[in-house]
Amino acid sequence: MSTCERCGAEFHCAMADAPPGQQPTGAPGETPCWCTLLPPAVPLPGQAAVGCWCPDCLRSHIAALKAP
């Protein structure tokens, strides 16, 4: 499990949370992370760029970027 750098929630990241004994490679055919299905949301504010955010935090951030 990964830990959200923004709120501390635990979540699954397909890029970081490979099956036990296996390192993620990013090779074709591997399941992409859920975040790859969302619109790009970079740059992240402040120090948040250090690690991943959970689905709720990332979706919230994307919604705030789209707000007028």
Concatenate the DSSP letters of all residues of 46-58 into one string.
GGGGGS---HHHH
Q: How does pLDDT run across 10-35, given as a tens digit for each residue?
A: 988 877 766 666 666 655 556 677 88
Rounded CA gap, 50 and 17, in Å?
17
pLDDT computed for residue 9 by the predictor: 94
Query: 8 or 41, which is more confident?
Result: 8
∠14-51-27 over CA atoms, to 5°? 35
pLDDT computed for residue 8 by the predictor: 94
Whole-structure pTM value: 0.66
pLDDT computed for residue 48 by the predictor: 47
Average pLDDT value for residue range 45-56:
70
pLDDT at residue 40 above 50?
Answer: yes
**Which structural domain range is residue 12 located in?**
2-66
Rounded CA gap, 17 and 60, in Å?
23
What is the total count of domains within the chain? Answer: 1
Please name the residue ranges forming H helices in 1-68.
Answer: 55-66
